[in-house]
Amino acid sequence: MKRIILSLCVLLMVQLAHAQYELYPANWWVHMKWNKVQVLVRAAGKDLKNQTAAVQYPGVKLEKISRFQNPHYLVLHLAIGPEARPGVVTIRIGTDLVQWPLGSRRPGNGTAFANGATAADLMYLIMPDRFSNGDPSNDRVPGMRDQSLNRDSVFERHGGDLKGVEAHLDYLKDLGVTAIWLNPVIENDMPNRTEHGYAFTNHYKIDPRIGGAAAYKKLIDAMHTKGMKMIQDAVYNHTGLEHVLFRDQPDSSWFHRWPKFTQTNYKDQAVFDPYGSKVDRKIMEDGWFVPSMPDWDQSNPFVQTFLIQHALWSVEEFGIDGWRIDTYAYNDLPFMNRCNQALYDEYPRISIFGETWVHGVPNQSYFCQNNYSIPFKSNLQATTDFQTLFYGIIPAVTQPFGWTEGVNKLYTTLAQDFVYKDPMRQVIFLDNHDLARFYSVVNEDTAKYKLAFAWLLTGRGIPQMYYGSEILMKGTTWPNDGYVRLDFPGGWKGDAQDKFTASGRTEKENAVFSYIRTLANYRKRSPALTSGKLLQFAPYDGIYIYFRYNTTQTIMCAMNTNSKPVTIATDRFREVLQKFTAGIDVVSGSRISLKDSLTLNPMSNRVLELK
């Protein structure tokens, strides 16, 4: 009986000691290639500066202890040998015992998870707080700084969550979606504007207001069961003011510091300009993005390892398939190469693309894998392709045709793809959470809207659509960006309209929904669109013809950007059409002769499978 009581007392002491410590990463796995793990230990109420530490666990060796100016922290440098087995590693810090789980690796690397988004996918971007509220019990979480809950305000929280996303997976799968990119899911315990998620406050917690880690795992498991992929939004450049490591900093070298507040100049040119000044580059890379987002000092090796390990941990812990990296151009780029490579080494099929909101193909291509012979070579697979948006499809549907205007801009931008190592990895899109919704960009003209969507679903690269685009959601960033982040009607109990259902949509909405759904589902089974090459012909008189093809299938896309019908002679395209006499319109199913000419409707993009 005394032994039982003693054992219970020891167990209680271990639990009490563990509760006083925070460990980053919270756990790890055996047989990882990243087997030298930096465990950052934080104990807010303790002085760790002179505390001893020891680990006694087969296959796990404590190689070194690093200490900081702040006595709340120390780093345990652990080496996990190949002989280590899953279990719970007990770490002794002074007289305290802290437990650190060491698990078996997730099965199915590159098949069941970390499978990467490719040109065969259609990504659907969701802001969880604004899509669907599947669990009202987590709308407000006691103790968190932001207690707002007001759907009448575009600034405050609305209550959407991960369970709401899971509840509509069948809707998305039916639409033709194969991958979901969520705006950040990591804890964002800031006092306001927390709906977007881009100011992390604890890397190792999933925000409880969207369901926490359990809901995230459940959603990803459900997606994988349905053959869908999860893309996680990463932020390496900055964090939130309330982040635990900023509020209680290990030392003064973890974040960029200035004599007075200095914001980035947002000048991506300063990074690669051969004539650029050092000060411009320093302000670009080290200046804070906004006052509420402290800028990590990524030259600090402890910061580097903290961020890399979190990326690896996220993939293994949750089973995500790819990364979208926020504000990519503002990071320390050699560090980003190291971080990307760690992910490639551990997960060879994972995909990574970065946000590069820049202007010009050379600017954009500098930040990803390219064909330049220059001192810095990025290993980022691809970027979010702002160039085919700003200098491509938007002018194609909003500008009159000219030698360099209108659809010629799309043609010219794509002609510069020779700079990319693999342009088929570029992520193409019409809008996102920071931009005016495309339906508003085209002044709610459904003909222009459908033309643009036909391009999105037949163009080169990985298409990404923004939640609600299929039901004609509209909004601009004026007077603020909240108006492009409105709720999906029907995502909340009691909504007057449920646009997840055909009966809840208007006739116009159903027509556009059906058009997108038809093309998206056709795309999934089209080898030419998912893995084929692109062949384009120079536009004339507002007509742009391009083909997607491989050895088994050829798709002809005929874009008419004029406001009137046009009949074109087909002999100009004989290098492709010489083998074909007709095409099947993949939307209507009708057979179209291509023998001499082709008639195109006003402002349309006809998609024909050649026969």
Q: 294 vs 4, which has greater pLDDT?
A: 294
CATH architecture, domain 533-610 = Sandwich (2.60)
Looking at domain 123-525, its CATH class is alpha beta
Beta-carbon count within 10 A of 3 CB:
7
Does residue 476 register a pLDDT over 90? yes
Per-residue confidence (pLDDT) for residue 7, from 0 to 100: 44
Query: Which ranges constitute the DSSP H helices of 496-538?
Result: 507-524, 527-531
- Active-site residue, selected from the candidate residues 355, 385, 470, 609: 355
Residue percentage of the chain with pLDDT more than 70: 97
Contacts of 402 (CB under 8 A, 6+ apart): 408
Contacts of 41 (CB under 8 A, 6+ apart): 21, 22, 23, 48, 53, 73, 74, 75, 76, 93, 98
Q: 101 vs 4, which has greater pLDDT?
A: 101
- Active-site residue, selected from the candidate residues 326, 417, 431, 481: 326
280 an active-site residue?
no
Strand, helix or coil for residue 278: helix
Amino acid code (one letter) for 230: M
What b/e readout covers 449-487, taking b as 16+ CB neighbours within 10 angstroms?
bbbbbbbbbbbbbbbbbbbbbbbbbbbebeeebbbbbbb
Mean pLDDT calculated for residue range 283-293? 98
Does residue 32 register a pLDDT over 60? yes
Mean pLDDT score across all residues of the chain: 96
Does residue 1 register a pLDDT over 70? no
Does residue 5 register a pLDDT over 80? no
Does residue 4 register a pLDDT over 80? no
pLDDT digits (tens, 9 = 90+) for 339-379: 999 999 999 999 999 999 999 999 999 999 999 999 999 99
Per-residue confidence (pLDDT) for residue 11, from 0 to 100: 42
Per-residue confidence (pLDDT) for residue 513, from 0 to 100: 98
Q: For residues 331 and 327, give the distance between their C-alpha atoms in angstroms, rounded to a whole number.
A: 7
Domain ranges of the chain: 2-103, 123-525, 533-610
Per-residue confidence (pLDDT) for residue 10, from 0 to 100: 41
pTM of the predicted model as reported, rounded to 2 decimal places: 0.96
Per-residue confidence (pLDDT) for residue 320, from 0 to 100: 98
> Comparing C-alpha atoms, which of 132, 53, 23 is closest to residue 487?
132
pLDDT band at residue 17, thresholds of 50, 70 and 90? low
Domain 2-103 adopts which CATH fold?
Immunoglobulin-like (2.60.40)
pLDDT digits (tens, 9 = 90+) for 320-339: 999 999 999 999 999 999 99
487 an active-site residue?
no
Q: How many residues does the chain have?
A: 611
The DSSP call for residue 353 is E
Mean pLDDT calculated for residue range 164-168? 98
C-alpha distances (whole Å) from 205 to each of 76, 184, 202, 274, 559 are 21, 12, 6, 42, 47
Per-residue confidence (pLDDT) for residue 14, from 0 to 100: 45
- In the sheet with 36-42, reading across from the earlier edge strand, the strands are 22-24, 36-42, 73-80, 60-67
Q: For residues 350 and 366, give the distance between their C-alpha atoms in angstroms, rounded to a whole number.
A: 21
pLDDT digits (tens, 9 = 90+) for 561-601: 999 999 999 999 999 999 999 999 999 999 999 999 999 99
Per-residue confidence (pLDDT) for residue 6, from 0 to 100: 43
Same fold, 123-525 and 533-610: no
Q: Are 220 and 319 in contact (CB under 8 A)?
A: yes
Does residue 434 register a pLDDT over 70? yes
